[in-house]
Chain A
Amino acid sequence: MKTWICLLLAATAAGPHLGAEGTGTGAALRFEEVGAQAGLRHIHSTRRFAGKHADVLRMFTSGGAAAAVGDFDNDGLEDVFVTNSDNGMPNKLFRNLGGFRFSDVTAKAGVAGGNDPNSIVADALWFDYDNDGWQDLLVVRFGTPLLYHNDQDGTFRDVSSASGLDRFANTIAVIAFDYDRDGLLDLLLGHYFKDVNLLDLKQRQVLPDNLDNAHNGGGVGLWRNLGGGRFEEATQKAGLAEHSGWTLDAGHGDFDNDGHPDIYLACDYGTDRVFFNKGDGTFRDATTEALGGFDTKKGMNAEVADYNNDGFLDVYVTNITDEYMKECNMLWFNNGDGTFTDLSKETGTCDTLWGWGAKFADFDNDGWQDLYAVNGLRSAGEKNYIPVLFEMIITPDIDFSDVANWPDIGQMTWSGYQKSKLFRNLSGEIFRESSAQAGVDNDLDGRGVALADFDRDGRIDIYQTNADQPALLYRNTTTECGNWLALRLVGDPRSAWKGMRSSRDAVGARLSLSVQGQTLVREVQGGNGYSGQSSKIVHFGLGAAQKVDSLQIRWPSGRVEAVEVPLNSFSTILEGKGLVRKMPAETSDGRD
């Protein structure tokens, strides 16, 4: 019934006005947590270590609760793969049955593995690496990656050994993007620790050497897709090998609107970096001029979106802001000239406590992308770890990198019981924190955020993973919301355009939608945001607008096409062919 209300209001909203606060209703965002009844209540477990540094290592590796959204069976419904991290604990694949019901199909799919005595699962990604039209799965680990080929019958085949993805690294993040625009999705892996096996520790100096400006992290690994299921490492060749920070997340987007995907790296212990794609298979480190130098913050999340509808992609990075540390997040406003300005304070998005994953989406379809951010490191006993840690930090000449110097955390809490934040975007200039009103102010130890319209009702839902705690599924029940469009883009890798090609997933495709005097820009993303891959279906909220003035797609190949699509429905667009399929929104919520 709620879906009907939403659609009815969208259809009858008086007059087109995609202005301040979109629909002009000022309606509240509303969500309902339905994880248990939906069958999506996965409980993550962090890795437990053996030996005398077990406690500290567990604490430092507690970031691997991740979720990846993708339609693995091509039934039009977004499915969820969710990770686990403790030894022998299974990852899970949940098939979306519609109506907010999910079925655990892990056993049949054969994708439970990855947590063994030498490896810890930390993130996952759906991408069609071989352009066969079926989503394949990459599971990255503190270890070597696992690449699963989708055999198109609900089962997956481990093709890791043949793929060339064989380098050991402590990988915590992964995105797929086509940096050389050859029509094959490449991989950028974010490595946290340097490449030592934490599960078989041979040296104690494995932790950050400086807590504000560390340079002994794992950096990144760029893997070029050669086709035929093979990848080769291109980190050095592409100019990314100098980065030695503690990478926690990577985000891609065409920041300078030149058609080539650029990169933002969010790093713990300082040193976030931005790299501009030179268009020749290499990148230029533009951190100093673009960001005004290197930061000292604890970057966790790199989300890319045009939050103010000015046609340039901005970046949102979460850091740590708590009683004892006042870093403030960074909302990098894209100045359009290759530089960014941090407007987190001005926009009201500075403080999300100990931040982790954060994602933009237009939850009320008012034309402005809102922001959901999860947080909290460790919620445990009453005793606080900070004073204990403080004694270590102020010890003269202490070596922070020595794992033996860090005190055990035991049952102590460290920045725990923090409430998630939902920021409603008020016309691109300021955000209003609305988590309690919206019903999403949970105090779990959040890690990843994966967004999708799971029930295809035109409203973006939220899946939140939590470390050592159950995941949450928030169904968007906002009643007064605007019109919308949902677009699945399918690139044509066989057809070159001025020497460039699009991957079938069309990651990097840019959509520019003109409505009521504004241009809304989106890009098809390949896994931006910490520990959470959102749907590749592109969603536009349109407010009360009854029609779209124009919709232009710039494919990764460079081909530009104008398309017409119906409002309030899901459309599939094929490169070179335009609209090939439209499906109306689901008109039942499965309960009525």
Chain B
Amino acid sequence: MPHLNRLAIPLLAVALCAALSAADAEAEYQAALQALQSKNYSSALDHFEAALKVAPDSLKYGSEYRMAVIQAESYDRAIGFLEELAEKHPRAAHLHLNLGFAHVDKIPAAGSITQVLLANAALDHFTRSLEVSPTWIGLYTRGNSYLFWPKIFNRTPLGIADLEKALQMQRKQSPRPHHARVYVALGDGHYKLDDLKKAKEIWAKGSELFPNSRALQKRVGSNGDELEELIGQGYNPNLRVDTDLKELWSNQ
């Protein structure tokens, strides 16, 4: 019994600390949202960073932080902060994911060569995330990122491979609206490899499963130049990619 007591007290302390930390992180997150409402970006970013220091692997905090960073146009601050955090928490898969997205978020604001460097760095971070934990969001994200690369770099097949794995993974789960994205991207990948038939099959299959997906509807219903334009716009590096991950926790 004394032995048990000796063990229980530290365990209790650890649990209590964790609970307190989670509460602290949530408090910082709420404070960040409040600051954001009053467009006090500097304060909002401070609070988001405080929350992430406590909960570095929080996909939600990281995503919301990046959305605030985009509004504040403080891309380098976010990259620097998340890089430092990732060095301290190398096993935090979602942190690597958000770090990759932080690079993606800066792309539309960068020059053409810097865009290449950012896109490549983002891929590295997505890969780190998958090495730690091969999640659906990690596979979808990296797979989709490969599709942005011009054909000359021959990265589309790598994207298709990731997206196929994401598809297998989501088939084992109950369907969620964001799963439609994999069908969109996978079809786009085959389209980019000039396999229109396969692309159309995948979009059609996705559309059956997710009839409310406008992206799939458009692809199924478009042909020729219209489809080319649709796909081209979707992968234009000068247009901002929506990297808000809210969909993951708001569409359960």
What residues of chain A have their CB less than 8 Å away from a CB belonging to chain B?
Answer: 211-213, 270, 296-298, 320, 323-328, 384, 386-387, 390, 393-394
Is there an interface contact between A211 and B111, defined as CB atoms closer than 8 Å?
A: yes
Is there an interface contact between B113 and A212, defined as CB atoms closer than 8 Å?
A: yes
Q: Does B42 contact A (CB under 8 A)?
A: no
With A212-B114, A270-B111, A394-B117 already in contact, the answer to whether A384 and B152 are too (CB < 8 A) is: yes
Q: How far is the CA of A298 from the CA of B114 in the complex (A)?
A: 13
Q: How far is the CA of A394 from the CA of B124 in the complex (A)?
A: 11
Interface of chain A: mostly helix, strand, loop or mixed? loop
Nearest chain A residue, comparing its CB with the CB of B123: A394
Is there an interface contact between A296 and B116, defined as CB atoms closer than 8 Å?
A: no
Q: B residues 75-126 with Cβ under 8 Å of A?
A: 110-114, 116-117, 120
Nearest chain B residue, comparing its CB with the CB of A384: B152
Contacting residue for B150 out of A270, A297, A324, A394, CB 8 A: A324
Is there an interface contact between A323 and B117, defined as CB atoms closer than 8 Å?
A: no
Q: Does B197 contact A (CB under 8 A)?
A: no
Is there an interface contact between A212 and B151, defined as CB atoms closer than 8 Å?
A: no
With A212-B113, A270-B111 already in contact, the answer to whether A394 and B151 are too (CB < 8 A) is: no
Is there an interface contact between A394 and B153, defined as CB atoms closer than 8 Å?
A: no
Q: How far is the CA of A401 from the CA of B153 in the complex (A)?
A: 24
Is there an interface contact between A387 and B117, defined as CB atoms closer than 8 Å?
A: no
Contacting residue for B116 out of A323, A327, A390, CB 8 A: A390
What residues of chain B have their CB less than 8 Å away from a CB belonging to chain A?
Answer: 110-114, 116-117, 120, 150-153, 236-238
Contacting residue for B151 out of A211, A296, A323, A390, CB 8 A: A323
Query: Which residues of chain B are within 8 angstroms of A324 by Cβ–Cβ distance?
Result: 116, 150, 152-153
With A326-B238, A394-B120 already in contact, the answer to whether A296 and B152 are too (CB < 8 A) is: no
Is there an interface contact between A386 and B236, defined as CB atoms closer than 8 Å?
A: no
With A323-B151, A387-B153 already in contact, the answer to whether A211 and B113 are too (CB < 8 A) is: yes
Name 16 extra pairs, CB < 8 A, besides A211-B111, A390-B116: A211-B113, A212-B113, A212-B114, A296-B110, A296-B111, A297-B111, A298-B112, A324-B116, A324-B150, A326-B236, A326-B237, A327-B112, A387-B153, A393-B113, A393-B116, A394-B120
Q: How far is the CA of A386 from the CA of B154 in the complex (A)?
A: 12
Q: How far is the CA of A112 from the CA of B15 in the complex (A)?
A: 86
Q: How far is the CA of A212 from the CA of B116 in the complex (A)?
A: 11
Contacting residue for A387 out of B110, B120, B152, B238, CB 8 A: B152
Q: How far is the CA of A387 from the CA of B112 in the complex (A)?
A: 15
Q: How far is the CA of A393 from the CA of B117 in the complex (A)?
A: 7
Q: Which 6 A-B pairs have the closest CB atoms?
A: A212-B111, A296-B111, A211-B113, A323-B150, A325-B112, A324-B150
Q: How far is the CA of A212 from the CA of B112 in the complex (A)?
A: 7
Q: How far is the CB of A135 from chain B (nearest CB, A)?
A: 40
